[in-house]
């Protein structure tokens, strides 16, 4: 009996807000079988609003307040689509994200918060920073503080908006600027009405006294006419307010596209019923600040999003399974803990306003406890061998499962044995066969290269998987110095409904056509089938304008150039274990999906040998280049480029599943201590890895400059080819440690 559960429903989340983050955590511990969950978010992280003032003040690091959505999505077995949704087609039931095919849904949930951008205020977009979305605001604030500390920016800040959020930010900004040692700090609050109207009178008076003590100027009943490069200009003709950093916190605004998709709304906020479903479209749920609870209106506050999560989780499952939904009952009032910039806070609860360091510590414990839910995800139990299984099954299942490094490729030893045992034909139209990066075929006056690659799913996003697999498959053609020509696709889809299969195929093939089309190649056919997991492969042909660049290095005295960083296998393995930082992983995936066609065009005319670095790692592929001529190489440790995060993970002992086989294949060739993380990354399997070229040393510097200008900013001269020495120096590969 087939135990693979087919996928039949699409659940899509737009936004990584607090409610969605909590539901994702619950989903990871108890998923609904047969549902594919997709999370769409502009970036790899989502900020926790409760800790933003503390971060602005310098009490928390950036990582402290960011929910890592990559780790959370992996835990929930959800695909993460990085991009900002701009439209929902309710008739087609698709979500539109620029740069990729539409994403279908059966049930859609939206939790995108609000924005404090002021599109109608002249100069705001060019010279100010909205306090929401929080992640982009935090990034730009950190950059401004660095400039102030370096003495390249004046410590003058203006906050447009005198509500609790604006006052809290102003006090936090003053505290942070003081920590830089800057002189002449100026922080101002500007409001079109009276400040602090959203709190009780006693708390309002206490906060005004604190603002006076801090020297923070409050400009009440001041209408801003324009934001300029120098600060604010007012409508009533009063003198301009100078500021080097201007932020907008004057109330929340809904994201514009929400009011354009045909849902009933109040001031742009879609109206939901007591089950958190849109009153217009029962297939759409909304939560957090982006929704209007028509059944029980409440102010915009993160506490409601957090408390909506259990009801949202239940009702999403109910709609997907076919059960009864639950009613959400919001609390009538809630405690406000307002930071005072330093490690003190004031509480606003039913007219009372105590303050002090104890309240800050209480708030700090609440916030850290909330974030700990996402930093300390519960471990998933390892699969166990079934009863009465054959000998060796339990041992095999207890080993590290194949990770995504080069699509869980087999080790080098069995592959080399297989290749060496292949029969050789005497055909004069086969100029080069197995053993090189691609076969070289002659057809009349045309010389063609032919290569194939396929990768098992290392990401749950088919578009990302397709893009990187296509670049990976093109690597062999580029390494031979050929121009891509024709492509055959080989697609294995997991079991799913026919509608989902059709959508997946459209997404995969549209992405593939885009990648190959940009390189001048055309998809001419292929094959598809159904299997246990997503696997994508491409067979690629290329035309040689002149000679094929060989893999084997002919002689010594050459320089080695690598076009792309190392460490992809380690990052992919770490992501499967929930140990990679989301930003590091997405940075690597983005680079892996970029074309190397221009880099190949730069290198091919000068390269005496070239290959692409893939499953066998840099050291393994370099050995393949050196061995035919009996040459050696010296690699310069400090020159080796690595993806951010890869060295840290390697130092922690994390290795890709193919690493042991890669290292064993280089026994006697490359020896290093287990604790040498840099050397270990030389055996790290790469997916869509860089081109490795041996070039005349006299040309290396100019080629490197050309590569940097051709879209390969991380290209580096990493070593030299030398003749073998005697004794211990006769090993085929050595690493020179250089400070």
Catalytic residue set: 406
Cβ contact 562:718 at 8 Å: yes
Q: Which residues pair with 636 in a beta bridge?
A: 736
Q: How far apart are CA 138 and CA 205, in angstroms?
A: 29
Q: How many CA atoms lie within 13 A of 518 on its CB side?
A: 15
Helices then strands (H, E): number in the chain?
A: 22, 36
Q: Coil, strand or helix: which one is 460? A: coil
Phi, psi of 559 (to 5 degrees): -100, 150
Q: How far apart are CA 505 and CA 499, in angstroms?
A: 10
Write the CA distances from 709 to 552, 598, 670, 704, integer angstroms.
Answer: 27, 10, 33, 9
Write the CA distances from 333 to 113, 173, 349, integer angstroms.
Answer: 20, 29, 8
Phi, psi of 536 (to 5 degrees): -125, 130
Structure tokens that stand for 628 in this block: 């035919």
Write the CA distances from 374 to 18, 369, 459, integer angstroms.
Answer: 11, 10, 20
Phi, psi of 238 (to 5 degrees): -65, 160
Q: How far apart are CA 132 and CA 153, in angstroms?
A: 23
The three-state (H, E, C) secondary structure of 220-287, written as one string: CCCCEEEEECCEEEECCCCCCEECCEEEECCCCECCHHHHHCCCCEECCEEEECCCCEECCCCCEEEC
Residues sharing a CB contact under 8 Å with residue 38, sequence separation 6 or more, in sequence order: 10, 11, 12, 13, 78, 79, 80, 81, 103, 105
Q: How far apart are CA 223 and CA 191, in angstroms?
A: 7
Cβ contact 263:244 at 8 Å: no
Cβ contact 597:697 at 8 Å: no
């Amino acid at each position: 009996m087939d135990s693979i559960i087919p996928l039949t429903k699409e659940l899509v989340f737009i936004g990584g807000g607090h409610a969605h983050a909590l539901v994702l955590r619950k989903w990871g511990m108890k998923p609904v079988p047969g549902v594919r969950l997709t999370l769409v978010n502009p970036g790899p992280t989502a900020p926790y609003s409760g800790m933003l003032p503390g971060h602005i003040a310098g009490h928390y690091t950036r990582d402290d307040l960011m929910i890592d959505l990559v780790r959370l999505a992996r835990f929930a077995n959800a695909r993460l689509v990085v991009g900002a949704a701009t439209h929902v087609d309710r008739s087609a039931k698709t979500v539109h994200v620029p740069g990729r095919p539409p994403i279908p849904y059966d049930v859609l949930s939206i939790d995108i918060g609000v924005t404090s951008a002021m599109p109608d205020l002249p100069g705001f977009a060019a010279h100010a920073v909205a306090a929401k979305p929080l992640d982009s605001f935090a990034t730009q604030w950190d950059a401004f503080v660095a400039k102030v500390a370096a003495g390249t920016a004046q410590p003058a800040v203006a906050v447009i908006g005198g509500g609790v959020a604006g006052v809290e930010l102003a006090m936090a900004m003053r505290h942070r600027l003081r920590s830089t040692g800057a002189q002449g700090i100026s922080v101002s609050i500007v409001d079109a009405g009276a400040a602090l109207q959203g709190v009780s009178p006693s708390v309002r008076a206490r906060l005004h006294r604190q603002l006076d003590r801090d020297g923070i100027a409050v400009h009440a009943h001041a209408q801003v006419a324009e934001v300029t490069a120098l600060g604010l200009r007012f409508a009533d003709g009063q003198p301009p307010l100078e500021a080097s950093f201007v932020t907008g916190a004057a109330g929340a605004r809904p994201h514009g596209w929400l009011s354009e998709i045909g849902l009933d709304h109040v001031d742009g906020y879609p109206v939901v019923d007591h089950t958190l479903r849109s009153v217009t479209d029962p297939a759409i749920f909304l939560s957090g600040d982006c929704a209007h609870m028509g059944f029980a209106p409440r102010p915009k506050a993160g506490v409601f999003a957090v408390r909506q999560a259990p009801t949202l989780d239940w009702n999403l499952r109910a709609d997907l399974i076919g059960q009864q939904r639950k009613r959400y009952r919001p609390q009538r009032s809630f405690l406000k803990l307002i930071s005072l910039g330093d490690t003190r806070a004031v509480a606003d609860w039913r007219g009372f306003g105590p303050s002090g360091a104890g309240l800050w510590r209480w708030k700090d414990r609440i916030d850290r406890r909330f974030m700990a839910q996402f930093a300390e995800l519960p471990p998933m139990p390892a699969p166990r061998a079934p009863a009465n299984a054959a000998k060796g099954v339990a041992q095999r299942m207890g080993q590290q499962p194949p990770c995504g490094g080069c699509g869980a490729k087999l080790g080098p030893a069995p592959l080399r044995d297989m290749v060496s045992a292949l029969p050789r034909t005497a055909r004069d139209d086969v100029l080069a066969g197995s053993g090189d990066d691609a076969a070289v075929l002659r057809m009349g006056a045309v010389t063609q290269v032919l290569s194939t690659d396929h990768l098992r799913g290392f990401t749950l996003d088919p578009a990302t998987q397709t893009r990187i697999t296509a670049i990976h498959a093109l690597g062999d053609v580029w390494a031979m110095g050929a121009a891509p020509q024709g492509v055959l696709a080989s697609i294995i889809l997991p079991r799913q409904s026919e509608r989902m299969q059709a959508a997946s195929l459209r997404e995969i093939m549209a992405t593939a056509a885009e990648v190959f089309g940009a390189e001048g190649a055309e998809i001419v056919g292929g094959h598809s089938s159904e299997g246990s997991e997503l696997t994508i492969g491409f067979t690629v042909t290329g035309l040689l304008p002149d000679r094929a660049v060989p893999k084997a290095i002919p002689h010594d005295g050459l320089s080695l150039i690598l076009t792309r960083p190392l460490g992809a296998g380690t990052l992919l393995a770490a992501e499967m274990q929930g140990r990679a930082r989301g930003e590091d992983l997405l940075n690597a995936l983005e680079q892996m999906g970029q074309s190397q066609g221009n880099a190949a065009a730069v290198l091919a005319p000068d390269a005496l040998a070239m290959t692409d670095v893939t499953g066998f790692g840099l050291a393994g592929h370099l050995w393949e280049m050196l061995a035919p001529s009996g040459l050696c190489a010296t690699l310069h440790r400090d020159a080796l480029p690595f993806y951010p995060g890869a060295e840290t993970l390697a130092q922690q002992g994390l290795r890709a599943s193919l690493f042991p086989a890669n290292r064993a294949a280089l026994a006697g060739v490359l020896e290093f201590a287990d604790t040498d993380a840099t050397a270990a990354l030389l055996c790290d399997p790469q997916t869509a890895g860089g081109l490795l070229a041996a070039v005349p040393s006299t040309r290396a510097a100019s080629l490197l400059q050309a590569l940097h200008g051709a879209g390969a900013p991380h290209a580096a001269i990493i070593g030299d080819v030398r003749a073998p020495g005697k004794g211990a120096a006769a090993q085929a590969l050595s690493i020179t440690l250089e400070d």
